[in-house]
Chain A
């Protein structure tokens, strides 16, 4: 079955760059769109951005200036970089698979999530 696993530092200093990686197993990373979503403690879900192997990307307008999502087919991984972080970026970060492989889509497979705290 398809599984996603996030990895990366759990603590990032203010003004630095948050970097996370999602490892995909059980599905071809070239066949689907992939997204990152985050959830601040006790709050709701926020879509961050998407990426396809074709190079197609899209980002939440509220984060667009700080976000880059890349994909490495040789490692079956996709990654999130979020620059100039502040305490407001503290959240659980999830990597997700698009359900039908469409650009705009529901998300049918989620990683377990990784908590990232921004603090000095």
Chain B
């Protein structure tokens, strides 16, 4: 199994802040990584695929980068609607997810 580890588990930031979440894979996954946003009681929503490709309709304040074993999701200017839990997913070898990062607004 490829293990995915996210940091931090929780973060609290103010509106307008730049926020970065990291995701590490236990072995190289090239760029086969996706990011999802999940709000309470809702299904996850795909934000980023292939490490840095923004899904159509997702605000441009979201961006992804990385390759191999280290990846980041950045929100350039945090908005109140961004309060959610974020998950990374590797799809190099079937699929595994990180444990999630809960983003709270101060």
Q: Which residues of A contact B (CB under 8 A)?
A: 35, 44-47, 50, 58, 60-61, 94, 99, 104-108, 110-113
Q: Which residues of B contact A (CB under 8 A)?
A: 1, 32, 34, 42-46, 49-50, 55, 87, 89, 91-100
A114 to chain B, nearest CB (A): 11
Other A-B pairs, 7, CB within 8 Å; known A44-B87, A107-B34 = A44-B99, A105-B91, A106-B34, A106-B46, A106-B91, A107-B89, A108-B49
- In the bound complex, what is the Cα–Cα distance between A111 and B43 (angstroms)? 7
Chain A interface, DSSP helix/strand/loop, else mixed:
loop
Asked whether B93 lies within 8 Å of A104 as measured between CB atoms, the reply is yes
Asked whether A60 lies within 8 Å of B94 as measured between CB atoms, the reply is yes
Contact among A47, A108, A111 with B95 in the assembled complex (CB-CB below 8 Å)? A47
Contact among A46, A104, A110, A111 with B91 in the assembled complex (CB-CB below 8 Å)? A104
Which residues of chain B come closer than 8 Å to A104, judged between CB atoms? 32, 91-95
Asked whether A112 lies within 8 Å of B43 as measured between CB atoms, the reply is yes
Closest to A112 in B: B43
6 contacts between A and B (CB under 8 A): A44-B98, A45-B89, A94-B43, A99-B46, A108-B46, A113-B43
Which residues of chain A come closer than 8 Å to B50, judged between CB atoms? 106
Contact among B94, B98, B100 with A58 in the assembled complex (CB-CB below 8 Å)? B94
- In the bound complex, what is the Cα–Cα distance between A22 and B95 (angstroms)? 20
- In the bound complex, what is the Cα–Cα distance between A41 and B96 (angstroms)? 18
Asked whether B55 lies within 8 Å of A108 as measured between CB atoms, the reply is yes
Which residues of chain B come closer than 8 Å to A47, judged between CB atoms? 94-97
Asked whether A44 lies within 8 Å of B97 as measured between CB atoms, the reply is yes
Which residues of chain B come closer than 8 Å to A106, judged between CB atoms? 34, 46, 49-50, 89, 91
- CB-based closest 6 A-B pairs: A106-B34, A110-B43, A47-B95, A106-B49, A45-B97, A104-B91
